[in-house]
Amino acid sequence: MDKVSEGKLLTVAGFAWLFDAMDVGLLSFIIAALKGEWQLSTVQMGWIGSVSSIGMAVGALFFGILADRIGRRDVLVLTLLLFSIGSGISVLATGFTMFIIIRFFIGAGLGGELPVASTLVSESVAPEKRGRIVVLLESFWAGGWIIAALIAYFVIPRFGWRIAALGTALTAVYALYVRWQIHEPVRPVQTKQPTLWQNMRAVWSAPYAKATLMLWLLWFAVVFSYYGMFLWLPSVLVLKGYSLLNSFGYVLAMTVAQLPGYFTAAWLIEKWGRKRVLIVYLVGTALSAYFFGNATGLASILIFGALLSFFDLGAWGAMYAYSPEQYPAVIRGTGTGMAAAFGRIGGVVGPLLVGYLLTAQVSVNAIFVIFTGAIVVGIIAVAILGEETRGRVLV
């Protein structure tokens, strides 16, 4: 693939990723705003984030399998349409129950788009550039979060969360653009199409079981800690005594640190390899989470919050580069989608756990120690079970 094609693919797929991040980022701010509007309990706040993750788990599994059967591009378009239209409908929600039902379908679109997009890009780029390109694809996530934080800071206090959510619905138009701007990667011709059950069994067959176990533990640890921490971030700052508006501004400042996290991971991943970058960035995430949870003054909150964003999102980029490289083309979408789906179970448990623990008056410090421990599990999984895949030719 020539440089122009690589740049075009990265940009087109990257903006799809950016729109996903906008939705997830906005949700964290919307949860904080809904607490006052609908008088939500901390448990209900946790359920909003968790229902989205349930949808993401279902979407990652279903659309990952579908991508191996009908192709990556068309599934990418379907998932974009699902979460875009769902976001538009969400502005009509008049209460908690209706809102979380809609969030399930939005989550399904989000959960399907992410692994399918990374698989598509992985299969379309030369091996010596693949890791860097996939991490740069992930860097669009930071752009989406930054835009979400800006919208939250300038739009939600003045015009309300519905206007903010309506903006993400406009991304449906982009799905049509994607349909015509990217091509389906060439895959080996199969004389007989494997069944869904055969693909799912193959992921756990002897050649891939070790890699699958490693990925499932890694995805669970990363998603559990990320959604538990970041969906609650504005609300945690409010609990620490800051106003809603100030908490939005502080999260915006922390979010900017995601970009250098991605860019440094993209630069290092072809020099150090996937495994080493993952371990280093996960160690940084664990330390940052621990110290952020124990931070008291504004300076330490901002410093460790920025470091948390830097390392956590760099690790996400490396994980997305690493995951598709574990499998051959015939089960690549299924394997990556199943790992992402299992990880999304962590995304269900994380936000819910925070809600229940806060209700039980467990301290923020103790909650972040739990997330630190989860990340350590991911580090151990990669260190013991992971194999280096830098330069591996995808077949």
For the chain, the C-alpha Rg in angstroms (whole number) is: 20
Per DSSP, 206 falls in state: T
Closest by CA position to 124, among listed 186, 181, 211: 186
pLDDT at residue 180 in the model? 63
Is 394 domain-assigned? Answer: no
Among 125, 191, 132, 179, CA closest to 330: 191
For 370-386, the pLDDT digits (tens) are 999 999 999 999 999 98
Q: How far apart are CA 135 and CA 268, in angstroms?
A: 10
Buried b or exposed e, range 148-178, using 16+ CB within 10 angstroms: bbebbbebbeeeebeebbebbbebbebbeeb
As a three-state string, the secondary structure of 132-165 is: HHHHHHHHHHHHHHHHHHHHHHHCHHHHCHHHHH
Give residue 1's pLDDT band: very low, low, confident or very high (50, 70, 90): very low
Q: Transcribe 292-318 into DSSP letters.
A: HHT--SHHHHHHHHHHHHHHHHHHHHH
Q: How far does the chain reach from its first CA to its final CA, in angstroms?
A: 16
State the CATH number of the domain containing residue 112: 1.20.1250.20
- The pLDDT tens digits of the residues spanning 213-232 come to 999 999 999 999 998 888 78
- Per residue in 280-293, pLDDT (tens digit) is 999 999 999 999 98
- Domain with 380, as residue range(s), is 3-181+205-385
Residue 239 tokens read as: 């609990």
Work out whether the CA dihedral 331, 343, 51, 33 comes out positive or negative.
negative
pLDDT bin (cut points 50, 70, 90) of residue 312 is very high
Distance between CA atoms of residues 134 and 269, nearest Å: 10
Judge whether 184 and 71 are in contact, CB under 8 Å. Answer: yes
Confidence of residue 190 (pLDDT cuts 50, 70, 90): low
Instruction: Let me know if residue 390 belongs to a domain.
Output: no
Q: Is residue 194 part of a domain?
A: no
Handedness of CA 226, 149, 49, 81 (dihedral sign): negative
Average pLDDT over the chain, rounded to an integer: 84
Q: Which residues contact 61 (CB under 8 A, 6 or more apart)?
A: 337, 338, 340, 341
Residue 197 domain-assigned (yes or no): no
Domain count, the chain: 1
Res. 26 pLDDT band, cuts 50 70 90: confident
- Residue 189 resides in a domain: no
User: What pLDDT is recorded for position 166?
Assistant: 83
- Tell me, yes or no, whether 301 lies in a domain: yes
Q: Is residue 196 part of a domain?
A: no
Please check whether residue 395 lies inside any domain of the structure: no
What is the Cα–Cα distance from 221 to 211, expressed in whole angstroms? 15
